[in-house]
């Protein structure tokens, strides 16, 4: 499939994923691995498909993956999951707004909302509703589990159904309302999602012996911990949400390969990386991503090439989304180790020069010679 027919030969399969289809852009695909994951849901050695035009990216993740595997693998755990939709309601007065919220926020009402949402989906479930009041505006944050789907469509459709019920039965009619009023964090990094989560919350850790750090990353656990401390303060000074090196690199490459919504990298590529030197002189490394939006059904996951990429990892289809989330965390842990290793060994610029620039120069020279 991956080396297979043109997209136009299979145009019918792309209906629902693109409009005005004229072809496909060929973006190169590489594999990073083996990446050994000893997770709650992901177990084994994974070869992770990465799509990119950035020279050195696959090599870097590959190096980190191999280091983790040589150390026996990383632990990984899915901690929570849930996707929000946040409709907004505008009233004439604060009093009207509060009457509406008192009605919508009641336990009994929540059960009715759950029933209405359940009419629209077999795998999604409304698990909570939280209200936020701002003057005469109310936002209701509907929080759903979404099975193995990333879930953005699912929660929109379910919330529309709840809104139809609210339109018919609410105690006060709003002047206007919208199905999403920009509080959910959909496709944007937000402090709320970082703290409360959106999508899947996942963490991974590994302990690397000092000899392995020296042999594979050409540095020491102490120097990597020094870098982490300095980088963490740098992130605070720069005002980033979370503290991490380059989650977006691996995540964007994996998302595009595996049929995830690439725009969700904007929200998903946040979290916390931590490196420490242990009392025994090893390197302790961990990543935690509080709002990773991923799925193994729905969206682009059923397209031929994207499904083939999920298949390489044995993670296509129902029952695999939690494992995919853990593999994402493991991959990003690999990327953090390799990046920081390169910075500590003063190899960062050289690796990019060798793997990206020198190749470009050779091509320029080849073109000139021709």
Using CB under 6 A as the binding criterion, the count of chain residues that bind ligand NAP stands at 22
Residue 80 falls in the annotated catalytic set: no
Contact between 231 and ligand NAP per CB under 6 A: no
Q: Spell out the alpha helix ranges (H) of the chain.
A: 57-70, 94-104, 107-118, 152-169, 191-196, 210-212, 221-238, 247-257, 265-268, 304-312, 321-344, 348-352, 358-369
**Cross-strand pairs, 208:** 283
Residue 311 falls in the annotated catalytic set: no
CB of 296 to ligand NAP, least distance (A): 8
Contact 198, 267 (CB under 8 A): yes
CB of 205 to ligand NAP, least distance (A): 28
The active-site residue out of 123, 137, 246, 352 is 352
Residue 54 falls in the annotated catalytic set: yes
Contact between 297 and ligand NAP per CB under 6 A: yes
Q: How far apart are CA 347 and CA 59, in angstroms?
A: 13
Non-local CB neighbours of 68 within 8 Å, separated by 6+ positions: 35, 36, 74, 206, 208, 330, 333, 334, 337
Q: How far apart are CA 286 and CA 42, in angstroms?
A: 17
CB of 324 to ligand NAP, least distance (A): 12
The active-site residue out of 10, 43, 54, 311 is 54
Contact between 199 and ligand NAP per CB under 6 A: no
Q: Which of 167, 318, 357, 363 is in the footprint of ligand NAP by CB under 6 A?
A: 318
What does R_g of the chain's alpha carbons equal in angstroms? 23
For tokens 């009605």, name the residue.
103
CB of 151 to ligand NAP, least distance (A): 5
End-to-end CA distance of the chain: 34
Contact between 101 and ligand NAP per CB under 6 A: no
Contact between 38 and ligand NAP per CB under 6 A: no
Contact range with ligand NAP by CB under 6 A, out of 26-34, 39-47, 290-298, 357-365: 290-298
CB of 298 to ligand NAP, least distance (A): 3
Alpha-carbon torsion, ordered 327, 328, 332, 334, to 10 deg: 20
Residue number, 124 or 271, with CB nearest to ligand NAP: 124
CB of 210 to ligand NAP, least distance (A): 43
Contact between 121 and ligand NAP per CB under 6 A: yes
For tokens 């990597």, name the residue.
224
Non-local CB neighbours of 192 within 8 Å, separated by 6+ positions: 183, 185, 198
Residue number, 298 or 341, with CB nearest to ligand NAP: 298
Which one, of 320, 347, 152, 336, lies nearest residue 248 by Cα?
336
Contact between 299 and ligand NAP per CB under 6 A: yes
The active-site residue out of 81, 261, 282, 326 is 261
For ligand NAP, what does the binding mask look like between residues 122 and 161, x meaning CB under 6 A? xxx---------------------xxxxxxxxx-x-----
Which one, of 38, 29, 30, 31, lies nearest residue 330 by Cα?
38
Q: Which of 55, 87, 298, 335 is in the footprint of ligand NAP by CB under 6 A?
A: 298
Give catalytic residues, as residue numbers. Answer: 54, 261, 352
Residues that bind ligand NAP (CB under 6 A): 121-124, 146-154, 156, 186, 261, 295, 297-300, 318
């Amino acid at each position: 499939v991956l080396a297979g027919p043109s997209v136009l030969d299979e145009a019918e399969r792309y209906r629902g994923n693109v409009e005005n289809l004229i072809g496909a852009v060929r973006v190169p695909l590489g594999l990073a691995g083996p990446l050994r994951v000893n997770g709650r849901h992901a177990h084994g050695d994974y070869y992770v498909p990465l799509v990119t035009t950035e020279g050195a990216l696959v090599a870097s993740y590959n190096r980190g993956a191999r280091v983790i595997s040589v150390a026996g693998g990383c632990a990984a755990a899915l901690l929570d999951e849930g996707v929000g939709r946040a409709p907004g309601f505008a009233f004439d007065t604060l009093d009207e707004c509060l009457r509406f919220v008192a009605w919508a926020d009641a336990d009994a009402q929540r059960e009715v909302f759950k029933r209405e949402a359940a009419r629209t989906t077999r795998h999604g479930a409304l698990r909570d509703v939280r209200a936020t009041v701002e003057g005469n505006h109310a936002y209701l944050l509907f929080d759903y589990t979404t099975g193995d789907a990333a879930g953005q469509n699912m929660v929109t459709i379910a919330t529309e159904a709840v809104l139809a019920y609210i339109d018919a039965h609410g105690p006060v009619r709003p002047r206007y309302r919208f199905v999403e009023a920009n509080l959910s964090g959909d496709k944007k990094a937000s402090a709320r999602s970082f703290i409360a989560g959106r999508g899947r919350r996942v963490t991974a850790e590994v302990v690397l012996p000092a000899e392995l750090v020296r042999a594979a990353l050409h540095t020491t656990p102490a120097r990597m911990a020094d870098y982490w401390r300095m980088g963490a303060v740098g992130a605070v000074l720069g005002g980033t949400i979370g503290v991490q090196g380059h989650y977006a690199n691996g995540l964007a490459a994996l998302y595009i390969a595996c049929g995830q919504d690439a725009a969700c990298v904007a929200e998903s590529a946040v979290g916390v990386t931590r490196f420490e030197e242990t009392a025994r002189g090893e390197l302790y490394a961990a990543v935690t991503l509080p709002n990773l939006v991923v799925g193994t059904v729905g969206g682009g996951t059923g397209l031929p090439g994207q499904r083939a990429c999920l298949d390489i990892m044995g993670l296509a289809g129902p029952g695999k989304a939690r494992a995919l989330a853990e593999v994402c965390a493991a991959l990003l842990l690999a990327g953090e180790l390799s990046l920081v290793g390169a910075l500590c060994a003063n190899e960062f610029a050289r690796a990019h020069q060798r793997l990206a620039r020198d190749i470009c120069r050779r091509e320029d020279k080849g073109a000139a010679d021709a």
